[in-house]
Amino acid sequence: MVHSSIRAPQQPADSTVRCSLESSHYPEKQVNSKLSIVARVALFALVATAAPASARLTEINITAVEPFADGAAFGNTGAYERVKGTFKGELDPADPRNKVIVNLDKAPKNAAGRVEYEADFFILRPVDAARGSRKILYDVTNRGRQYVHWMFGDSRTVRNDPRAPEDIGNGLILRRGYVVVANGWDPDAPRTNDGLAMKPVIATNGGAPIVRVIRDELQSGTRGAQRETFRLTHEAATLDQKQAKLSVRRNEADPRQEIPAGGWAYVNAREIRLLPLGAKPEAGSIYEFHYPATNPRVLGIGLAASRDLVSFLRYEAADSKGNANPAGAGIRHALAFGRSQSGRNLRDHVGLGFNQDESARKVFDGVIAHTAGVGGVFLNIEFGQPARTFTQHEDHTFPENAFPFSTARVTDPVTGKTGSLLRNDGFDPLWIETNTSTEYWQKGASLLVTDSLGARDVAHPDGARGYLFASTQHGGQAWMRSTPGNCVNNRNPHSPTPALRALLIALDEWVSEGKAPPASRTPRLQDGTLVAPGAVKFPAIPGIVVARRMSEFGVLKDWIKPEMDMTKPYRPLVTQVDADGNEIAGIRLPDIAVPLGTHTGWNLYKTPFPEGELCDRDGTYAPFAATRAEREAKNDPRPSLEERYGDHARYVRRVEEAVKRLVAERLLLAEDGELFIAKAMSEETAKRFAR
């Protein structure tokens, strides 16, 4: 991750826009007491007309405005409507805020010397803006998909074109009156199922194609269906097999075995296959392809496009052609949420300086980066591949993890650099990072709260918080069931979304009222909850295969060879567990605080996948026995439900106590607490206690 040199904190004209981490703690009502509604509207108009016209969002085109959910009302906000369209912008390559974009100087330019772009957008907005909160909740799309309703609403599907109440689940974010915004930022994101993307901008050498030998890693079945062909991330410059090389290995650390030219063929410039015809890739094996690629997209433009869209929606009344701002006037604040890839996008957004727009105004006031670990997106690099995600077995030697990792300012003994994810330039958002157990095992999340060698704890700065969702896997969701999939153990169904909802409201209150969120809840060295994998005191549960390794990494010197320096590696750590195997530190939601089984953030592949390799980002679930006799018959060391709770009624009382604690700590909403209690009282749960 490379930080831009921009550090000039020019103050926004609008005094309601926070200009520093210190001023962001002042309650909004103190500002409002100084400005009448009329004065604030006039000031908004002044800011909109005073914004420089050098390089910005230039045009917003609305293609559809439709009622959402047939005009159904959502709390006091009332009805919502769907707004779809595209937006265009232009970037000045000479602007210091844009110079961080790799190859922007090699992109086509218009007559004014600026680089033009175009992307999709989608907005859900209150029909009556006055009944809304006048706050943007920006959903950073993940491979073109929108996730806010899946994560905050517990909807059962990820819908990029939500139309019905079931598409948004519990409707929390609509009941709270947010203007929900999403846009495309990756030109290669799939547009199938209404995915959001942007038009590619191709870099050249003065009009001549850029050609470079690059590397693709290709797998079948680990992250999706098993494949008969492999799609390349970039266009091959030639179909001459003599200029390409394909190898395969079973495990990440195994030596590469070259596949001769007679064992594979190009299907076209973006696809290869194994030979003879009908041959299928081995499930889970790593196929590595070196080939001359061409026409690299200027992918960093996606970060600028998102910046420019949100800035326009916050501060402008209309575009250069007079098209009205579809978010409406008077937007007070902007919050952002991203999960996994899109959480890493937000780390890049802040670290690379994109939270300052080209008129020196703050873009997001507050951010939640969920399950991002310590990495960024393989985006702002020539021939970047943003869909990749680093784990122990997959994508292990592609750019993702690079110092600085933490929001705390630390010195890195591995590289000799000193730095922080936050820039401390007056434009940092209030920052919340949330991770599951999986990010500690697979994505180095402990380095958010320790130095680079895992030798000492570091504290979050005042403008940041960090939370571990204890004993949860990367993709945990309310509707999940415990099935093994590609893994040897049944997967972990525990959901972090109730805590995420509470933290969203805490972030909103932090931004809007200056009310600090709950203190960070992460494992620490000082209390023994951060340990090496070999020191985890996991119980010997019959039938459970235990992970004894984690994903390790060092400085990536060359992603194409590839070459990672492991002579002086970073030292991420994992989380210690209790006698049941559940994690001690972090936010322990009722299913973990009053457990019916053991939940982890790790799992291992089973045949026909590479046994012994960590099973992508999945966890493990092992239920407790109902009775002592059942436990003893299985030789299970964990107390049975009978031994630990006595009966179902006592279990329910324990859940009620856990809910009361978490609600008081602002880590659980009362409405979610009621759902936990209802689940504990349910007939399905009662059957677990049957003898």
Tell me the pLDDT tens digit for each residue of 505-552.
999 999 999 999 999 999 999 999 999 999 999 999 999 999 999 999
Alpha-carbon 609 to chain mean position = 26
Kindly give, in sequence order, each residue whose CB lies less than 8 Å from that of residue 353, ignoring residues fewer than 6 positions away: 3, 4, 6, 97, 100, 423, 425, 427
The mean pLDDT of 178-206, rounded to a whole number, is: 96
pLDDT at residue 262 is higher than 70:
yes
What is the torsional sign of CA 401, 465, 589, 342? negative
Rounded Cα distance between 577 and 561, Å, is 38
How much is the pLDDT for 690? 83
Verdict on whether the full-model pTM lies above 0.85 = yes
Rounded Cα distance between 643 and 502, Å, is 33
How much is the pLDDT for 157? 83
Neighbour count for residue 558 (Cβ, 10 Å)? 11
Rounded Cα distance between 652 and 656, Å, is 6
- pLDDT tens-digit readout, 101-148: 999 999 999 999 999 999 999 999 999 999 999 999 999 999 999 999
pLDDT at residue 181 is higher than 80:
yes
pLDDT at residue 41 is higher than 70:
no
Q: For the chain, what is the mean pLDDT?
A: 92
Least Cα distance to 414 among 535, 568, 526, 537 occurs for 568
Identify the helix (H) or strand (E) that includes residue 506: helix 497-513
The mean pLDDT of 10-38, rounded to a whole number, is: 32
Predicted confidence band of residue 37 (pLDDT cuts 50, 70, 90): very low
Which residues on neighbouring strands pair with residue 324, listed in sequence order? Answer: 318
402 touches 443 (CB < 8 A): no
354 touches 306 (CB < 8 A): yes
- pLDDT tens-digit readout, 640-676: 999 999 999 999 999 999 999 999 999 999 999 999 9
- pLDDT tens-digit readout, 610-637: 999 999 999 999 999 999 999 999 999 9
Rounded Cα distance between 395 and 400, Å, is 9
DSSP state at residue 69: G
How much is the pLDDT for 480? 83
Least Cα distance to 160 among 138, 192, 125 occurs for 192
Rounded Cα distance between 170 and 160, Å, is 17
DSSP string, 261-314: GGGEEEEETTEEEESSTT--PPTT-EEEEEEEEE--B-TTHHHHHHHHHHHHHH
182 touches 150 (CB < 8 A): no
- pLDDT tens-digit readout, 423-482: 999 999 999 999 999 999 999 999 999 999 999 999 999 999 999 999 999 998 888 889
How much is the pLDDT for 55? 53
The mean pLDDT of 17-22, rounded to a whole number, is: 29
The mean pLDDT of 469-498, rounded to a whole number, is: 94
- pLDDT tens-digit readout, 381-412: 999 999 999 999 999 999 999 999 999 999 99
pLDDT at residue 79 is higher than 60:
yes
Rounded Cα distance between 103 and 295, Å, is 12
The dihedral formed by the CA atoms of 482, 487, 492 and 495, expressed in degrees to the nearest 10:
-100
Least Cα distance to 574 among 465, 451, 462, 441 occurs for 441
The mean pLDDT of 167-188, rounded to a whole number, is: 96
Predicted confidence band of residue 158 (pLDDT cuts 50, 70, 90): confident
Least Cα distance to 8 among 360, 355, 308 occurs for 360
- CATH superfamily label, 23-200+299-513: Alpha/Beta hydrolase fold, catalytic domain (3.40.50.1820)
pLDDT at residue 38 is higher than 80:
no
Identify the helix (H) or strand (E) that includes residue 28: helix 28-32
Give the domain ranges of the chain: 23-200+299-513, 211-294
How much is the pLDDT for 478? 84
Least Cα distance to 454 among 553, 530, 547, 371 occurs for 530
DSSP string, 524-543: -TTTT-EE-GGG------TT
The dihedral formed by the CA atoms of 189, 193, 199 and 202, expressed in degrees to the nearest 10:
40
